[in-house]
Structure 1
Amino acid sequence: MGECNIEGYKLLYSGREDEAHREGVALCISPKAQRALIEYKPINERLLKARFRGKWFNITVIVVYAPIEDGEERVKDRLYGDLQDLVDGTQKHDILLVMGDMNAKVGKESFRSVGPESLHQTSNNNGLRLASFAEANNMIIGGTWFPHKNIHKYTWESPDGRTRNQIDHILVDAKHRGALQDVRCYRGAGCSTDHLLLTAKVKARLKLEKKMRNEPQRKFETERLKQLELSNQYQLEIRNRYEVLMMTEEEEMDMEEEAKMLEECIIKSAEEIIGYKQNNRREEWYDEVCANAVEERKKARQKWQQTRSEEDKEDFIQRRRNAKRVNLDKIETLGREGKIREQYAVIKKVRNGYRPRVNMVIHQNGVIATREEEILSCWKKIFKELLNRPEPDTPYEEANDDNINEKEVREPTINEVGTAIKELKNDKALGKME
């Protein structure tokens, strides 16, 4: 349970506590929507709730992952019980959206919540549960109300391509049904899953918090200093600037003022000689070869979806392997060229090896705090109890300096310091100090 950032987008997620790779729900929000996020609450591996600030109405989103049709009845009962508690706790004026993998086939029975455009004629057990839940809470099942071709209605397809079901749904409260303008599937999103991308068009305006404009952190192109001529020019520029400033100063400066002056000389010289790095969003390793491999994989997948032939399926699988092979070739090439840092960056990118940044605290009573003020209050309480402890019965006795046998070490000379700095390697940790 927590959140992580992926290329500007924030992923809110809620999963199992035993770290088993089953179930789990998530909500990915754009940078713009992040500014409207009021709070979010991960419930368990099947439920997550988030609330956004709107201009006229706030928006509450509940993400659901329901058990399969053959799942245990007690698990289904517990899920819909928890879901009902979340709906009951929603502000009555909010636009309420309930979405996710419901594993529910909803038929064209006489339910007010179900429209005439459902893909199925009869409901399964999960479908009856979902329709009854929608009826009880005065909600509609959006995907059953908008006319589309059947290929834009089904949300799940069996691996053999013979069975297609509409089991992912988006519900909206009937009071705000006018805000839901369309629901349909897109088959072109290739995510290596048997589910299709279900989208909804909602007419609502977010009320964004004013964003403070901070100067972006800029980095110098230090790689250019590996060129001997440029490195000598950079050193000479720093020396000249520093000597000029020292000559113009009439009064004697203290150490802090002199250090500040030296820092200014270094920065000004770096701006003039080596310049700043260019902020390219696309990684250097992602070149035209990678882009072509990904594009070929995408076209092969679209062709297979249209024809459903074994030949096109094999072609898609082969091109998917080729796209992965291109990344592996890049990794091997960087290793042979000795670019170890770039090599590990590509490995991390390909494997999605990011570490989620958890932005929540669990209170002593077990309640999860996700809002910033709640987290600060919790940490304040923890440190107050941790630091404000009574003094120990036996006071600490300071060691006698006379008993410490230390070998006297002379101060290093300027030449020794300079030699040690030159021996340091770029992009390497200093290691253990001897």
Structure 2
Amino acid sequence: MRMKTTQRSAPDQSLPGPRTASSVGRIHQDGGGKYATGGSKKTIRARNKIVIGTWDVRTLREAGKIEQLEHEMSMCRWNIRGLCEERRKHFGETLTSDGHKLYHSGREDDKNEHGVRFIVHKDTAEAVLRCRPISSRIMTIRLKAAPLNITIIQAYALTIDHEDEEVEDFYNEIQKTLNELPKKDIILVQGDWNAKIGEDAQEDWEGTCGQHCNQATNDRGLKLLEFAIYTMIMNTFGPHKPSRRWTWHSPGGEYHNQIDYIMIKRRF
């Protein structure tokens, strides 16, 4: 099974357009939280090429944002995108005007902060077995595939203004989520990690990260490397030109960093 992974940062501008369709699907309770189930009428075969990506969209709350997202994504090939910082509350499931499936997981209080989401192409939506919200920063989706099912964790890490103890709790929650997943699945962990992995880490973390990343690693980058020690951080291995690596740009465009990463077990 060939999987292509991508990452991109969405522009912050609004386009006019209709709102998304009404909520659909079935919501269930499963131990620690609610989740949505799909019909699972379709299986992703090994001969198929599936394109999986992650994108920090800043917000999708304003009118026209979903339509803008669809417009941007229509210009590239994709099957599933994990989205960060979409800032919607609670857990929900919707359809876009083009028929793509959206699942989102936000805060349970009245604050429109954080938020993660999956958007699944209408041609892939019937392969969804389950989508489970863990928190406003972590969400999982499982796809029916052959010979092995695919599970994706979408994560939105804490920014640098949070205490180390909070960051530790965040990684513990991801690890707990990983421990609960089916062991035989192809598992990807991706999202906005608010961390910088640099070329200086390649020698000490050979096999985990490549050389196509930032110049220097920061403290949060070291934390991510420790977490990812048994995986490959795939987008640090791609020989893309710098302008295609950066996923964060400072206001004014003076500074650029790669802070979004996609990880997968080395056996895959």
TM-score by length of 1: 0.39
Opposite residue 85 of structure 1, the aligned amino acid is K
Residue of structure 2 in register with 1:127 after alignment: 221
SS in 2 for 1:105: coil
Residue of structure 2 in register with 1:115 after alignment: 210
Opposite residue 210 of structure 2, the aligned amino acid is G
Residue of structure 2 in register with 1:60 after alignment: 151
Separation of aligned partners in 1, 2:165 and 2:125: 36
Residue of structure 2 in register with 1:163 after alignment: 255
Match of 2:245 among 132, 135, 153: 153
Q: In the TM superposition, what is the alpha-carbon distance from 1:92 to its structure 2 partner?
A: 2.1
Cα deviation digits, residues 221-253 of structure 1 (max 9, x gap)? xxxxxxxxxxxxxxxxxxxxxxxxxxxxxxxxx
Match of 1:25 among 116, 128, 131: 116
RCO comparison, higher one (Cα < 8 Å, 6+): 2
Q: In the TM superposition, what is the alpha-carbon distance from 1:113 to its structure 2 partner?
A: 0.8
Superposition map of 1:413-424 within 5 A: none
SS in 1 for 2:104: strand
Q: In the TM superposition, what is the alpha-carbon distance from 1:82 to its structure 2 partner?
A: 0.6
SS in 2 for 1:113: coil
Moved over 4 A (4+): none
Residue of structure 2 in register with 1:104 after alignment: 195
Larger Rg: 1
Cα deviation digits, residues 263-296 of structure 1 (max 9, x gap)? xxxxxxxxxxxxxxxxxxxxxxxxxxxxxxxxxx
Question: Do 1:2 and 1:12's aligned partners in 2 also have CA atoms closer than 8 Å?
Answer: yes
Separation of aligned partners in 1, 2:157 and 2:241: 26
Cα deviation digits, residues 99-153 of structure 1 (max 9, x gap)? 11111100231113111222x2321122111111110xx1111111010110010
SS in 1 for 2:95: strand
Residue of structure 1 in register with 2:180 after alignment: 89
Residue of structure 2 in register with 1:74 after alignment: 165
Q: Does 1:36 align with 2:131?
A: no
Question: Do 1:14 and 1:44's aligned partners in 2 also have CA atoms closer than 8 Å?
Answer: yes
Question: Do 1:69 and 1:125's aligned partners in 2 also have CA atoms closer than 8 Å?
Answer: no
Match of 1:3 among 68, 73, 93: 93
**Normalized per residue, which structure has more strand?**
2
Residue of structure 1 in register with 2:139 after alignment: 48
Opposite residue 122 of structure 1, the aligned amino acid is A
User: How much identity, in percent, do the aligned residues show?
Assistant: 35
Separation of aligned partners in 1, 2:208 and 2:180: 21
Q: In the comparison of the two structures, how many residue pairs are matched?
A: 173
Question: Do 1:66 and 1:79's aligned partners in 2 also have CA atoms closer than 8 Å?
Answer: yes
Question: Do 1:142 and 1:172's aligned partners in 2 also have CA atoms closer than 8 Å?
Answer: yes
SS in 2 for 1:140: strand
Question: Do 2:198 and 2:216's aligned partners in 1 also have CA atoms closer than 8 Å?
Answer: yes
Match of 1:140 among 220, 228, 232: 232
Opposite residue 3 of structure 1, the aligned amino acid is E
Separation of aligned partners in 1, 2:108 and 2:121: 27
TM-score by length of 2: 0.63
RMSD: 1.1
Separation of aligned partners in 2, 1:38 and 1:158: 38
Q: In the TM superposition, what is the alpha-carbon distance from 1:69 to its structure 2 partner?
A: 2.0
SS in 2 for 1:32: coil
